[in-house]
Structure 1
């Protein structure tokens, strides 16, 4: 079996389903799959499955329980403060964005009827009419002004403050029109506004405990770190309202328990499973795999401003010490693509294909560690189940380190509180970054000198200036050149070790239908509740 056949996923199924909806003939569909490395007999099976999926009509009604993998008492219904998948699921259920990124990665309109600009600096936002919040208030431009300005207020603590700082002014032109003026041109603004943090909240909101948004569900119960219960919004502004009557969402931190809850029928969706679980699930009739190829990754972060990462060569040494092939093949069972210590995957149009791939080279790592004077010292690496597969990654690093005289101790900590107590703060630790649609967003969130999520304390004035230059360019060739150089700067200069891009694996009940992959993350970019339905 070829790698292409072995790695055929739900994302590829969705591609075939979309082609069917566009009217492609059976011959065209089989030819498309053949070009992708799929044998004729396998292609026929896939085609049958896709045809059945397209033909299936959503069923209204039903209540489901879904389990994420991480939760804490810091869980929030404030979109600006959302920091993990559990927050994103809730915010996607209760609120809407001005724009939305669909399964094909295209930026489409949601609350906005249009967002237009002639110079990429001043943008005119026309809002849809007839949209109301859960409390009955009509959506107006004042809500847009308030929502966007919140990200600029340091007191709010917005997770995308670094991104929002490019906004110079937001003002209401009339009730249905807002004007956004940027500090400098940015052709990506409509895409940026599709991020989960930029959900629109009602003007003047200070109490977010009610989840008062314009979204497909209304809040019935929210206990941070425990659970949330939602009911279908019968007054939802979209013509097609949610199919489900409601859902309960909570976290089961232990993966085995999460998987067993699905197999026993206690839940209908188990999010973000480690590929090692596939052995149990692949041939089990109680579960279907929902696999999404994303740009998500788990990364080892070596703080450049703390020992031992403040010594020259230490971060680089870890980049040579991590065995990417072992992580891809053994830890992730092939459900990954080799990465090169920067966050842009090879399917992104701005990917730097010229950058030489860093290989596993423990002897070179040993030399770098020896020059830094850390051989023989104990290096503590903080990991938790909250950062997907990080415990397995840590073991791979530990085993390689033991062979070159570097002592690595794995500091295993609880998932609860990991993101607030250890991520970014510990000297050597793991992160887990969800896919983002543009290089500008990734670089602004993670590598700009003042980025809120600057995981390794990377600072470069040159990088910051290049980021601003590329942002407003309409010349795509020049933009690609700049982004390519920035990828090299991150790969060689930042303290992030990004070994692979991970495919996301969710497991769902065979009765749960309607899910298609989305580039913003697993669980259909965290919007599964709006689109899922239960088979009768």
Structure 2
């Protein structure tokens, strides 16, 4: 548990690095000497749209994630190695049966308007999430906000209707669980993050400036962050080369050589992030597990990894949570392309002769290229797949969580946390509409126990069900590839599947 042994230090930096490398002109990170204060960082952000929002509890596009990380902080965040890290919280402790959790805040925390961060604000933030049914709700289990209370200005007791042993892990979804002041107005957002808002134009750009009373001094090092929406990768790369931006996120392997040849740094993170093909199990023809199974055997994962990520990704096996402590590859045989088996299963699933409609959008690594590779691979068994790539705004308005066959994007989170968001009935991002009562019951049992051995056994049983009958095809855990100007430092590899060290801009500095 946090504060009780699983986290040894309550630090706010992001200096620990996940698997990955920094290539190109110069090195990256703390090895470049003492951080330098000052400067303006211009971020060329992919995946934004006219629906961009600064609402602390309702981020959706990748640009939203980047901006929210500047403005807000949470009780806990996930670090570059995928582990919980205390942020606003000083400690987090459950009672004997995990029906209550006591959170103590650090002293001296302040919001951008100078008001103190107190227990009442934590309660207000979680109440807002629960009442608004924002995505963070599903990470909070059976929390009872009416019974939860502020013990003193720096102490909160959260009460749960049922034992909830997952709170420590759940709070690592910090991008859904930011702490805001009582009376928060998303149109005039105030947080306690490293930067405060100067201006914002949805679909175009935002400007944030250094918060001088940030709790993790001397961070942030930058004076200002300007986040600019750039619709596609070529424009991102051109802007970085031309000196119009200083960092770009979520580029593909195709841009590595171009960036390096122009003297830019390339930060490649081996991540636990995943961009699955999603099949709605409640809609024909994907309601037939034979078809779902057949499509999983159709994929040549190695070829897809080479074609899309130049081999920088990690081969997946249709089960998420690859860095989870309970993830065990030996539980299920690695699927490799088997065209004979795929063709037989697809025929058995009554999809022979059909044209499958696959819809995606350029929102995250691989989401435009992977569908094209799958289409080509399907031709080997005369299966027709029609691929439609929609603009991000159109996709989120018309297709996301609606169409039967699509793609999604997930940063890394512990397995059971992702289950709460993805594969339970009513989960906020259930693209597959998976609904298995046995699976749901197992999740409730895992959530209730503090016995790690028992929890591991339950998780393994759930993972086997994902593998055998789930609605996801997870060929690859994608690499995150960021382009960084040679004078920008502090950008470290991360397993989280989010760009630019999970957008922890407080750790970056400019040294020209």
Please say which of residues 294-303 and 390-399 is displaced more in the overlay: 390-399
Q: Answer whether contact 1:72 1:417 (CA < 8 A) is retained.
A: no
Q: Alpha carbons of 1:137 and 1:18: their partners in 2 closer, same or farther (altered >3 Å)? A: closer
Match of 2:172 among 194, 197, 207: 194
Q: Distance in 1 between matches of 2:283 and 2:57?
A: 29
Match of 1:272 among 225, 250, 262: 250
The superposition leaves residues 304-363 of structure 1 with CA deviations (integer Å, 9 ceiling, x where unpaired) of: 122321234121121111110111122211111111111021x43211222111221122
Q: Give me the TM-score of the superposition, normalised by structure 1.
A: 0.86
Q: Distance in 2 between matches of 1:341 and 1:328?
A: 14
Q: Answer whether contact 1:253 1:386 (CA < 8 A) is retained.
A: no
**Other-structure match for 1:234:** 212
**Other-structure match for 1:185:** 163
**Other-structure match for 1:23:** none
Shift of the alpha carbon at 1:161?
Answer: 2.4
**Other-structure match for 1:290:** 267
Shift of the alpha carbon at 1:525?
Answer: 4.1
The superposition leaves residues 166-213 of structure 1 with CA deviations (integer Å, 9 ceiling, x where unpaired) of: 2123211122211111233333313322321110011122x2122201
Q: Answer whether contact 2:268 2:482 (CA < 8 A) is retained.
A: yes
**Counterpart secondary structure, 1:318:** helix
Match of 2:103 among 92, 117, 125: 125
Residue pairs, 1:4-19, within 5 angstroms: none
Shift of the alpha carbon at 1:516?
Answer: 2.0
Q: Give me the TM-score of the superposition, normalised by structure 2.
A: 0.90
Residue pairs, 1:85-100, within 5 angstroms: 85-100=62-77
**Other-structure match for 2:11:** none
**Other-structure match for 2:135:** 159
Q: Alpha carbons of 1:113 and 1:388: their partners in 2 closer, same or farther (altered >3 Å)? A: same
**Other-structure match for 1:531:** 507
Shift of the alpha carbon at 1:479?
Answer: 1.8
**Other-structure match for 2:452:** 476
Structure 1 residue ranges without an equivalent (≥5): 1-16, 20-35, 37-41
Residue pairs, 1:47-446, within 5 angstroms: 53-54=30-31, 56-119=33-96, 120-153=98-131, 156-169=132-145, 170-195=148-173, 196-205=175-184, 207-285=185-263, 287-345=264-322, 347-353=323-329, 354-436=331-413, 438-446=414-422
Q: Distance in 2 between matches of 1:518 and 1:336?
A: 13
Q: Answer whether contact 1:78 1:208 (CA < 8 A) is retained.
A: yes
Q: Distance in 2 between matches of 1:404 and 1:108?
A: 48
Q: Distance in 2 between matches of 1:392 and 1:433?
A: 17
**Other-structure match for 2:473:** 497
Q: Distance in 2 between matches of 1:387 and 1:307?
A: 27
Q: Distance in 2 between matches of 1:525 and 1:288?
A: 14
Shift of the alpha carbon at 1:449?
Answer: 1.8
Q: Distance in 2 between matches of 1:259 and 1:447?
A: 36
Q: Distance in 2 between matches of 1:105 and 1:434?
A: 10
The superposition leaves residues 284-314 of structure 1 with CA deviations (integer Å, 9 ceiling, x where unpaired) of: 31x1011122111111111112232123412
Q: Answer whether contact 1:344 1:487 (CA < 8 A) is retained.
A: no
Q: Distance in 1 between matches of 2:205 and 2:126?
A: 28
Q: Distance in 2 between matches of 1:215 and 1:261?
A: 28
**Counterpart secondary structure, 1:86:** helix
**Counterpart secondary structure, 1:295:** strand
Aligned residues: 489
The superposition leaves residues 34-65 of structure 1 with CA deviations (integer Å, 9 ceiling, x where unpaired) of: xx9xxxxx9xx99x968x94361111111011
Shift of the alpha carbon at 1:113?
Answer: 1.8
Shift of the alpha carbon at 1:103?
Answer: 2.8
- Superposed CA RMSD in Å reads 2.3
Shift of the alpha carbon at 1:405?
Answer: 2.2
**Other-structure match for 1:13:** none
Structure 2 residue ranges without an equivalent (≥5): 1-14
